[in-house]
């Protein structure tokens, strides 16, 4: 299952870091952050609860870039 | 500028004013000077310092905030107040510029793609109009499009006639006429007449939504250069940081212990801090995706949809181009030119056409369409049964209880029916009834107006090999190829043979050269996906083409192929310019910094200056009109 979320982040490198952080979250199969369109596309693992996983993703992203936001 | 940017801008201005004022205050006392310089420093840099502290807390040490904090605090500790404040100030100016430029180009590109309709006029019972969100319109609703409005949803005209401007979709302002019964695609602008449409799709499935989705998601498919840069940035920053540490500690120790000189800690630490300022990879990390984004945006404005940055990159390396003939170089509009009867047959010409048109009536192939057009009457599907398509050969069907075979000479050979050798050049449909040959129909296709120029243009952009593949007869294929100036032609191919041919060509070429296949998206999907880059022609309305291809040319113009290649080359050139320029300047500055030649000011240029130049250069990818 793939879902797209709107995000807010100021710098391109931070966007890359968010991508890394999202990818490393359990329940996430793959993640792409598009800095230009400010979107995060997350592909979830089979059977993962998207809402719970995204809370974790947000937490992990906040860790690497305090100034980011994901609109869930 | 948005709120956040305005705030930063005001802080920058205030800090600059502070600095100017400080220059006029006579300094008697080091402490006073220190305190005075701290005012602009904290004014402009407090958020960076806070972020750096948070970063350390979250174990994310090597980020730009940390680098800037260490560099500036270090400089201030060494007594270089002015440099410390300046680094912070220019860093913020750079960040502000970057955020402004990116926001601006985001807006520019979305303006270019401003084809999203805001509303649809749904006709209620009694003829009243109601403006609703296009998302809420159901299939089969009647909507009204007034002059000057965008067509919001794909549909069929039920009344009225008008001229539509497709320039937002195709990049060309060739008007299309639409009248009752015509299909109209969303995203076009209604120029003059009022039309009523019956919608055939939901908004989400309409052409305009599909195109927008495609373009918006394109930059998510990252290119090799982008992946290289993110990997590079991950390694580069820590490496520079550790080198800075080494530079601060090792040379003084060596001087002190082995050379008996004074260690000069301050000098070496300052050099190390210069390193830190240079170490920010911003210029690269921002300018590369920005170039691709701008390139894709510019291309879509010219009617070339690129599905991903990776495809734009591959397109720029294309040296082998393989065409399908029908629908790509020719109009794909076939017309029955002649009907020739076998001398022994009892059947007349009209009946022959009858049988052929009915037998082919289930096929969507352009040939069968032209037969139906020449037939002119409504097809009574009840007369046809047991239709079997024999791929690459033709069809067999039962019409009015008789076995009809219609297809090329291979079909006749396969069925062991002797046939006439036609003299005419064109596509030949041989027809046999109940195993007896009765004659053939000549169908001809016209070249597109720009095909010749397109081949010339492709040669000009450095194609090593231009190949044409077709299922058509050798005679027709050779004639078309000579007219176009293409030397390599392979004719009489079945759809499967096209894949094999493309695979052969793929094996022949070197790894560096890429191969593009150009087709019309109808029944060449396997070839489109097999090639390094699949380019589909004339996608206005053809969903299959949008699905199968990597690059979609919105109008039928083959000249756009060369244009697309030029756009990709320009974009990639800019990407490489930025990579070499940014890494080059940084490496030189690092080197000079280590030797003590480049000071903090040079470091600021290497960081902020390079980023500004790279971003401005990236935005150039957007302009593709003159290519």
| Structural domain count of chain A | 1
**pTM of structure:** 0.78
B120-149+153-205 and B331-446 agree in CATH topology: no
What pLDDT, on a 0 to 100 scale, did the predictor assign at position B540?
A: 60
Chain B CA closest to residue A33: B220
pLDDT for B222 beyond 80: yes
Higher pLDDT, B423 or B225: B225
What pLDDT, on a 0 to 100 scale, did the predictor assign at position B562?
A: 93
Q: Are B187 and B168 in contact (CB under 8 A)?
A: yes
pLDDT for B320 beyond 90: yes
Structure tokens at B327: 């629908």
What pLDDT, on a 0 to 100 scale, did the predictor assign at position B539?
A: 59
Contacts of B219 in chain A (CB under 8 A): 34, 36-37
Over range B549-562, report the average pLDDT.
87
Instruction: Count residue pairs from A and B with Cβ separation < 8 A.
Output: 64
What pLDDT, on a 0 to 100 scale, did the predictor assign at position B564?
A: 93
Q: Quote the minimal CA–CA distance from A17 to chain B in Å.
A: 9
Of B47, B118, B133, B324, the active-site residue reads B324
A11 in contact with B at a CB cutoff of 8 Å? Answer: yes
The alpha carbon torsion through B493, B498, B501, B505 (nearest 10 deg) reads 140
Residues paired with B330 in a beta bridge: B447
Q: Are B526 and B495 in contact (CB under 8 A)?
A: yes
CB within 8 Å: A11 and B289: no
User: Which whole-number Å values give the CA distances from B247 to B243, B358, B473, B567, in the listed order?
Assistant: 6, 85, 73, 44
What pLDDT, on a 0 to 100 scale, did the predictor assign at position B315?
A: 94
Q: How confident is the model at residue B576 (pLDDT cuts 50, 70, 90)?
A: very high
* CATH 3.10.580.20 describes domain B331-446: no
Higher pLDDT, B577 or B186: B577
B289 closest CB neighbour out of A14, A35, A65 = A35
Q: Quote the minimal CA–CA distance from B368 to chain A in Å.
A: 41
B219 closest CB neighbour out of A13, A16, A36 = A36
User: Which whole-number Å values give the CA distances from B426 to B356, B423, B469, B523, in the listed order?
Assistant: 17, 9, 16, 21
Burial class from Cβ neighbours inside 10 Å (0-12, 13-18, 19+) for residue B203 reads: buried
CB within 8 Å: B285 and A63: no
pLDDT tens per residue across span B362-390: 877 777 878 888 887 777 778 888 888 88
A30 in contact with B at a CB cutoff of 8 Å? Answer: no
CB within 8 Å: A13 and B285: yes
Q: Quote the minimal CA–CA distance from A38 to chain B in Å.
A: 10
Q: What percent of chain B has pLDDT over 70?
A: 97
- Give the start-to-end residue ranges of the domains of chain B: 120-149+153-205, 331-446
What pLDDT, on a 0 to 100 scale, did the predictor assign at position A57?
A: 92
**Three-state SS for B119?**
coil
CATH number for the domain spanning A6: value is: 3.30.70.100
Angle between helices B559-595 and B224-257 (to 10 degrees): 10
Can B324 be counted among the known catalytic residues?
Answer: yes
Average pLDDT, chain B: 85
Chain B CA closest to residue A13: B285
Q: What CATH architecture is B120-149+153-205?
A: Distorted Sandwich (2.70)
What pLDDT, on a 0 to 100 scale, did the predictor assign at position B541?
A: 52
A32 in contact with B at a CB cutoff of 8 Å? Answer: yes
CA max distance for chain A: 33
**From the candidates B61, B105, B215, B286, which should be mutated to test the interface with A, based on the most A CB atoms within 10 A?**
B286
**From the candidates A13, A22, A42, A67, which should be mutated to test the interface with B, based on the most B CB atoms within 10 A?**
A13
Poorest-pLDDT segment among B369-373, B544-548, B550-554: B544-548
**How far is C-alpha B235 from the geometric centre of its chain's CA atoms?**
30
pLDDT tens per residue across span B44-74: 999 889 888 888 887 776 777 888 888 899 8
Q: Quote the minimal CA–CA distance from B618 to chain A in Å.
A: 13
Contacts of B575 in chain A (CB under 8 A): none
**Three-state SS for B105?**
helix
What pLDDT, on a 0 to 100 scale, did the predictor assign at position B263?
A: 80
CB within 8 Å: A36 and B293: yes
A32 closest CB neighbour out of B55, B60, B220 = B220
């Amino acid at each position: 299952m793939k879902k797209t979320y709107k995000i807010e982040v100021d710098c391109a490198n931070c966007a890359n870091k968010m991508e890394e952080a999202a990818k490393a979250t359990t329940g996430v199969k793959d993640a792409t952050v598009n800095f230009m369109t400010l979107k995060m596309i997350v592909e979830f693992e089979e059977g993962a609860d998207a809402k719970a996983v995204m809370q974790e993703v947000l937490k992990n992203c906040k860790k690497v870039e305090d100034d980011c936001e994901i609109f869930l | 500028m948005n709120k956040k940017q305005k705030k930063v801008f005001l802080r920058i201005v205030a800090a600059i004013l502070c600095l100017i004022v400080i220059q006029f205050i006579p300094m008697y006392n080091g402490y006073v000077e220190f305190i005075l310089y701290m005012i602009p420093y904290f004014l402009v840099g407090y958020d960076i310092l806070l972020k750096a502290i948070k970063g350390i807390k979250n174990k994310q040490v090597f980020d730009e905030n940390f680098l800037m904090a260490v560099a500036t605090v270090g400089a201030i500790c060494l007594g270089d107040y002015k440099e410390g404040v300046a680094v912070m100030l220019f860093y913020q100016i750079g960040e502000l510029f970057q955020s402004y430029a990116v926001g601006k180009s985001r807006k520019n590109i979305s303006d270019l793609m401003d084809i999203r309709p805001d509303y649809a006029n749904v006709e209620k019972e009694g003829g009243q109009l109601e403006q609703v969100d296009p998302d809420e319109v159901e299939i089969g609703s009647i909507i009204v499009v007034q002059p000057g409005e965008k067509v919001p949803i794909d549909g069929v005209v039920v009344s009225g006639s008008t001229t539509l401007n497709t320039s937002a979709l195709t990049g060309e302002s060739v008007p299309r006429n639409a009248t009752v019964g015509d299909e109209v695609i969303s995203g076009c602008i209604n120029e003059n007449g009022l039309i009523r449409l019956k919608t055939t799709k939901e908004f989400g499935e309409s052409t305009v939504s599909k195109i927008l989705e495609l373009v918006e998601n394109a930059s998510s498919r990252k290119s090799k250069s982008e992946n290289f840069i993110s990997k590079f940035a991950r390694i580069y920053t820590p490496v520079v940081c550790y080198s800075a540490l080494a530079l601060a500690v090792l040379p003084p120790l060596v001087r002190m212990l082995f050379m008996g000189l004074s260690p000069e800690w301050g000098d070496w630490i300052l050099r190390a801090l210069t390193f830190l300022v240079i170490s920010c990879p911003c210029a690269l990390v921002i300018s590369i995706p920005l170039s691709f984004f701008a390139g894709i945006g510019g291309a879509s404005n010219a009617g070339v949809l690129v599905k991903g940055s990776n495809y734009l990159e591959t397109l720029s390396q294309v040296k082998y181009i393989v065409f399908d003939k029908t629908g790509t170089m020719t109009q794909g509009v076939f017309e029955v030119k002649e009907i020739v009867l076998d001398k022994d047959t009892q059947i007349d010409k009209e009946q022959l056409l009858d049988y052929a048109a009915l037998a082919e009536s289930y096929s969507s192939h352009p040939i069968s369409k032209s037969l139906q057009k020449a037939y002119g009457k409504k097809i009574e599907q009840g007369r046809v049964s047991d239709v079997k398509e024999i791929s690459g050969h033709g069809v067999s069907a039962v019409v009015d209880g008789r076995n009809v075979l219609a297809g090329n000479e291979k079909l006749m050979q396969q069925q062991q029916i002797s046939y006439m050798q036609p003299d005419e050049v064109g596509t030949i449909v041989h027809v046999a009834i109940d195993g007896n040959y009765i004659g053939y129909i000549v169908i001809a296709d016209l070249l597109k107006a720009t095909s010749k120029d397109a081949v010339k243009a492709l040669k000009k952009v450095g194609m090593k090999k231009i190949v044409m593949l077709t299922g058509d007869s050798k005679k027709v294929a050779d004639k078309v190829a000579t007219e176009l100036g293409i030397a390599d032609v392979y004719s009489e191919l079945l759809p499967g043979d096209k894949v094999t041919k493309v695979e052969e060509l793929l094996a022949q070429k070197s790894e560096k050269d890429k191969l593009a296949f150009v087709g019309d998206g109808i029944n060449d999907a396997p070839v489109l996906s097999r090639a390094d880059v699949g380019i589909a022609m004339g996608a206005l309305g053809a969903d299959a083409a949008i699905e199968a291809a990597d690059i979609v040319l919105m109008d039928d113009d083959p000249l756009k192929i060369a244009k697309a290649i030029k756009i990709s080359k320009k974009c990639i050139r800019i990407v490489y310019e930025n990579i070499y320029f940014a890494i080059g300047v940084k490496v030189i500055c690092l080197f000079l910094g280590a030797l003590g030649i480049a000071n903090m000011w040079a470091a600021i240029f290497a960081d902020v200056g390079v980023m500004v130049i790279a971003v401005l250069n990236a935005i150039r990818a957007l302009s593709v009109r003159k290519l």
